[in-house]
């Protein structure tokens, strides 16, 4: 009887609290709008939340898990280098052995000078020659596709900046697949894959072959910025057909729609399928390490319990700042 009464009180309290919140939200929203702070405040809070894991340090646990092993990472779209702190905290740099893809010879030389292992070809779904459109005024935005200026306003670009997407040069580059490029380097396993190639992501992933990364960070253009880029749903479908699931999406830049025009998505093997489970268990410690580096603690704890990881006790003691 007492338990029933307490439950009733809790339900009534929750209803009242919800009503108060519903009353306050419009008031707070009006105040923020009046100060021109609404969207900026929301964006800032979302960014702080998405990066909350960067305050946590799992270096010691990852060192224990990997021992002397390195995480093999392939970075397609590598201008600026892989270990620059934009993908994950720099304290984890020593755990990676990066391979970077750069078909532009002068950019490839810069990466070699930084002691990177470089694939000096473009990546595609087959061995071929492709035209690469160089955007000299906007480094990092060169593409196998021509820019579509009719779309730029949806990205909230100002017309005075449209010239940044002018094609400064066209070059023909030799392309290979991920599978052949890694085979040539005698790389047997791939732990982490990053693809940020201005629309060529689907064609590149078609060339994975028998490589199944433990984690992939893929850029998707919901509203294609370039002519002829396949619809993003086709890219998602291809990734899901490879037995992967998404665990994070990160908005990139400004836009005029209520959904991002562009975003980064993180994928892991679908641990609820037999194939995904097999991929994870084949390199259990490497998978745990990547999940720690990218801050997916709650999900890691769930997977650890379901797949009975050997480090499960230590994993269950961790906290996830994202959900605090």
Question: For residue 227, what are the contacts with CB-CB under 8 A and spacing of at least 6?
Answer: 145, 146, 147, 148
pLDDT at residue 25 in the model: 55
Q: Which two tokens stand for residue 318?
A: 């961790």
Query: Can you spell out the DSSP letters for 26-42?
Result: HHHHHHHHHTT-HHHHH
Q: By C-alpha distance, which of 188, 190, 182 is closest to 269?
A: 190
- 124-129 contacts at long range (C-beta below 8 A, 24 or more positions apart): 124/175, 124/176, 124/177, 124/200, 124/203, 124/204, 124/207, 125/177, 125/203, 125/204, 125/206, 125/207, 126/175, 126/177, 126/207, 127/175, 127/176, 127/177, 127/180, 128/175, 129/172, 129/173, 129/174, 129/175
pLDDT at residue 253 in the model: 86
Q: By C-alpha distance, which of 120, 115, 62, 125 is closest to 88?
A: 62
pLDDT at residue 31 in the model: 62
Spatial distance between the Cα atoms of 121 and 251, rounded to a whole number of angstroms: 29
Q: Which residues pair with 169 in a beta bridge?
A: 134
Contact 134, 79 (CB under 8 A): no
CATH 3.40.50.150 fits domain 72-270: yes
The domain ranges of the chain are 2-36, 72-270
Predicted confidence (pLDDT) per residue in 97-125, tens digit:
999 999 988 888 888 888 889 999 999 99
Q: In the predicted model, what is the mean pLDDT of the chain? A: 88
> Which parts of the chain are beta strand (E)?
71-76, 96-101, 117-119, 122-123, 128-134, 169-176, 192-195, 215-221, 244-251, 262-269
Contact 194, 178 (CB under 8 A): no
Per-residue pLDDT of the chain (324 residues; tens, 9 = 90+): 665 566 566 667 667 766 665 666 566 556 655 555 556 666 666 677 777 788 889 999 999 999 999 999 999 986 656 877 788 999 999 999 999 999 988 888 888 888 889 999 999 999 999 999 999 898 878 899 999 999 999 999 999 999 999 999 999 999 999 999 999 999 999 999 999 999 999 999 999 999 999 999 999 999 999 999 999 999 999 999 999 999 999 888 888 998 899 999 999 999 999 999 999 999 999 999 999 999 999 999 999 999 999 999 999 999 988 887
pTM of the predicted model as reported, rounded to 2 decimal places = 0.86
């Amino acid at each position: 009887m007492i338990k029933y009464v307490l439950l009733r009180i809790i339900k009534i309290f929750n209803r009242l609290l919800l009503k108060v919140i519903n009353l306050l939200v419009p008031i707070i929203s009006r105040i923020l709008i009046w100060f021109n702070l609404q969207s900026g405040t929301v964006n800032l809070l979302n960014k702080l939340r998405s990066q909350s894991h960067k305050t946590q340090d799992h270096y010691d646990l990852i060192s224990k898990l990997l021992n002397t092993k390195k995480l093999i990472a392939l970075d397609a779209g590598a201008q600026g280098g892989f270990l620059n702190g934009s993908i994950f905290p720099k304290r984890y740099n020593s755990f990676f052995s990066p391979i970077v893809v750069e078909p532009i010879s002068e950019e490839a030389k810069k990466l070699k000078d930084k002691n990177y292992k470089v694939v000096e070809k473009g990546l595609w779904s087959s061995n071929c020659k492709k035209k690469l459109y160089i955007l000299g005024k906007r480094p990092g935005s060169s593409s196998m596709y021509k820019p579509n200026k009719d779309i730029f306003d949806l990205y909230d670009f100002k017309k005075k900046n449209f010239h940044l997407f002018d094609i400064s040069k066209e070059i023909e580059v030799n392309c290979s697949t991920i599978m052949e490029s890694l085979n040539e380097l005698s790389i047997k396993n791939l732990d982490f894959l990053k693809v940020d190639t201005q629309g060529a992501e689907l064609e590149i992933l078609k060339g994975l072959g028998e490589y199944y990364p433990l984690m992939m960070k893929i850029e998707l253009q919901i509203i294609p910025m370039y002519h002829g880029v396949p619809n993003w749903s086709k890219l998602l479908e291809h990734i899901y057909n490879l037995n992967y699931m998404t665990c994070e999406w990160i908005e990139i830049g400004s836009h005029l729609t209520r959904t991002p025009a562009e975003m980064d998505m993180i994928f892991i093997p679908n641990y609820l399928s037999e194939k995904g489970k097999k991929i994870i268990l084949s390199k259990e410690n490497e998978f745990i390490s990547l999940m720690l580096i990218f801050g997916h603690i709650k999900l890691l704890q769930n997977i650890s319990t379901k797949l009975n990881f050997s480090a499960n006790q230590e994993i269950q003691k961790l906290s996830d700042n994202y959900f605090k």
